[in-house]
Amino acid sequence: MKRFLMLLFVLCNFNVIAKTLLATGTIESENTQHVLMPLVQSFNGKVNEMIAEGTAVQKGDFLARIDGSSVDGKIESLKEQLETFTETAKKSEIDTQITLNNSQIAFEKAQTNQKIAQMKALLPLDFIGELKYKQNQLAYKNAQKSFQKAQNDLNEAKQKQQEKLQSNKQEYAQKQKKLNVQQQSLKNLTLYAEQTGYVVYSTHPWTGKKIQAGDQLQTGMEILSVSQNNKLKIVAWLNAIDIPNIKLNQKVTVSFDAYLTQSYPGEITLISQAGEEKKAWGNGLYYRIEVKLMEKPQLNLLIGMSALIEIQEQTNE
């Protein structure tokens, strides 16, 4: 019975065949700045200019410029609107000031007339006669009404002036804010290095070709990267059907196109949780994996260099 069980164990494991899964990848650095297409109108922008691939850059150096012709048009339109509004607002403020000045003059005149009418109304009846006395009393009442109206008109003119000034100030601020937003958007279309490193052009996810000046990209697509030549890793993509056959910390073998006769042990350190479409590779989802070399190669490895990853997958047949 014991011999039978041992034979059965051997037969079961005889059909376990080690298959080699091959994946191509590129060398990247953990210290990498990924430069993406910024938010643009219709979420689709054109790359107008790019620094040469392989260039060593410092923090703050120019990397790429996105077409901003549509933003330029908006900025010019907003500038014209702001200029027109400034002129209109200035004229309206002058008009309210004139109205206020006229109201101030009318108030001072009504105030003077009231004082004169008041003095006449105080003249004794016996001194000026009944008719004149009644006329003075009536004139004083009318002067008081005129004074009250002039005072109300003056207060209203002052209030309207303050409202107009406040309204113009708010509207100017709103228009200036819109202009600032567009100017900042235009500024954001010029992309700069945030660290030292080497420029590597990214690959278009739909065509599989490297991004070049003149290409159209959607917002969020990677244009290029700036990588430091340290803390290197290999990044590759696997079809969804191969993902169940690999696991984290799985040992792999890595070789490089520039050094095909040499290979090095590596380890899978990342398997992405979500797949991405790669139209240039056909239908289906592809998952990003990252591989770390277990030992430092005595080779001149460079960012962007191609690598071949051999993964031994276990399948039962």
Where exactly are the structural domains of the chain? 18-67+208-316, 72-188
Element holding 147 (H helix, E strand): helix 130-188
Whether 89 has a pLDDT exceeding 80, the answer reads yes
Using a pLDDT cut of 70, give the percent of the chain over it.
Answer: 93
Query: Could you read off the pLDDT of 31-52 as tens digits, one per residue?
Result: 999 999 998 878 899 999 999 9
pLDDT range class, residue 278, cuts 50, 70, 90: confident
Please tell me the number of Cα atoms within 13 Å of 10 on its side-chain side: 6
More confident residue, 297 or 286: 286
Strands (DSSP E) contained in 37-76 are: 44-50, 56-57, 62-66
Which range, of 13-17, 190-194, 282-286, averages the lowest pLDDT? 13-17
Query: Could you read off the pLDDT of 64-78 as tens digits, one per residue?
Result: 999 998 899 999 999
Element holding 117 (H helix, E strand): helix 69-121
Phi, psi of 65 (to 5 degrees): -130, 130
The residues near 222 (Cβ < 8 Å, ≥ 6 apart) are 34, 35, 36, 37, 202, 211
pTM, two decimal places: 0.63
pLDDT range class, residue 18, cuts 50, 70, 90: low
Q: In angstroms, rounded to a whole number, what is the distance separating the alpha carbons of residues 33 and 194?
A: 7
Which homologous superfamily is 18-67+208-316 in?
Efflux pump adaptor protein, beta barrel domain (2.40.30.170)
